[in-house]
Amino acid sequence: MQEARKQFFQFLARKKLKFTSQRGLIFDVFWHIKDHVSPEELYNAVKQNDPRVGQATVYRTLKLLCESGIAREVNFGDGVARFEPAFGQSHHDHLICTNCHRSVEVMDPKIEKLQEKLARDHGFTLTGHKLYLFGICPHCREKAR
Amino acid sequence: MQEARKQFFQFLARKKLKFTSQRGLIFDVFWHIKDHVSPEELYNAVKQNDPRVGQATVYRTLKLLCESGIAREVNFGDGVARFEPAFGQSHHDHLICTNCHRSVEVMDPKIEKLQEKLARDHGFTLTGHKLYLFGICPHCREKAR
DNA sequence: TTAAAATTGATAAAGACATTCAAAATCTTT
DNA sequence: AAAGATTTTGAATGTCTTTATCAATTTTAA
């Protein structure tokens, strides 16, 4: 059994939540996609495996996945929440093309360090952050010419 | 007349949009608050000056304020859009307490520079960014003990 | 002043997500 | 393994934010 799956089950056990086939299925489908999905996209993917699963269950399970550290919510500013695998994935931020809306995962340890320091300087204990860089990707810039 | 107001009017003129009393009032109230406001908060504040203004107009004007560079949208992840003055204000990001939801404006030129570089390294032309730092503020940490 | 065009406000609509609740599934105890 | 307690589920409904519609009004250019 994969590490992530185990972690999710352990989380459920710790919280005294029940292990249902729906939760297992939603985890599997989510984990298999390996990309950002909106709740609706995930719901559609899950339905292909079991059409009887309701979308409320997908929303509920997505919340559990986040709480257990398996998923992470990202928000590109288009009014739709998106979720991506967080467990075992190295942390990263997003560089988003405002033209074609595609995103690239980026990461700079120096920025992370400075964020820590910035928070500390204000007396905060940093628990997380979200950084979105918006710009025009090379592809769109090329096309614009 | 204030600089910001002038900029807003010039924006309207440039876009061949009309100068209405509502737009003037919404600008004034927004500018006077000098803090993040949700559309609803702004709507309520505007109503105190003129109860006949509709909330659709507030939403519409808020969009214009953003387009004209007067306002900037921020999103603390609580499902409500918030807007803050952007004109004449130096750029900053937000450090948000996940416990009491209060926010502090922060800024680090080194981080800004590194963001530029990060985008450039991926061939992107950076047009903007949003950075949210989440943590526990000194006040809440103290109370927790 | 008048006509063309944009704007307004009330209302309805859309869209994402949360809640409700009876039925079903899971877990615990025996 | 049966029963009882408890949680979860799915369908429907509700809520909340934001957007669209449209007739009436206001602004602006001529």
> Closest Cα partner for A41 from A68, A33, A5, B140?
A33
Backbone angles phi, psi at A86, to 5 degrees: -120, -25
Is the CB of B111 less than 8 angstroms away from the CB of A111?
A: yes
Helix (H, G, I), strand (E, B) or coil at A93: strand
Let me know whether A60 and A31 are in one domain.
yes
pLDDT per position as a tens digit, B127-138: 989 999 999 999
CATH number for the domain that contains residue A134: 3.30.1490.190
Residues A10 and A70 in one domain: yes
pLDDT, position A1: 54
Q: What is the mean pLDDT of chain A?
A: 92
Bases along strand D below 7 A from a protein CB: 7-12, 16-21, 26-28
Is residue B1's pLDDT more than 80? Answer: no
B114 and A123 within 8 Å at the Cβ level: the answer is: no
Number of structural domains in chain A = 2
- The pLDDT of residue A77 is 78
- Based on the fold, state whether residues A18 and A78 are members of the same structural domain: yes
What are the tens digits of pLDDT across the range A8-22? 999 999 999 999 999
* Strand C–CB A80 distance below 7 A: yes
Together in a domain, B9 and B70 = yes
Average pLDDT over residues B22-38: 95
pLDDT in tens, B52-102: 999 999 999 999 999 999 999 998 877 889 999 997 777 899 999 988 888
Protein CA at A60 to nucleotide C1' at C19, angstroms = 12
Q: What is the mean pLDDT of residues A83-88?
A: 88
**Alpha-carbon gap, residue A20 to A37, rounded angstroms:** 22
Tell me if B133 and A114 make a contact (CB, 8 A cut-off).
no
pLDDT in tens, A49-85: 999 999 999 999 999 999 999 999 998 878 899 999 9
Among the listed residues B115, B112, B92, B89, the one whose alpha carbon sits nearest the alpha carbon of residue B104 = B92
Angstrom distance, B19 CA to C10 C1': 22
Q: CATH no. for residue B78?
A: 1.10.10.10
The predicted structure's pLDDT at residue A88: 76
Indicate whether A15 and A70 sit together in one domain. yes
**pLDDT one-digit tens code per residue, A32-49:** 998 899 999 999 999 999
On the question of pLDDT at A145 being above 80, the answer is no
Find the domain containing B7 and state its range: 3-85
- Residue A75, burial from CB neighbour count under 10 angstroms (0-12, 13-18, 19+): middle
Residue B95 (CA) to nucleotide D9 (C1'), in angstroms, measures 39
| Nearest CB to A75; choose among B75, B108, B115 | B75
Pairing label, strands B71-74, B93-97: unpaired
CA distance B135 to chain A (A): 4
pTM, 2 dp: 0.83
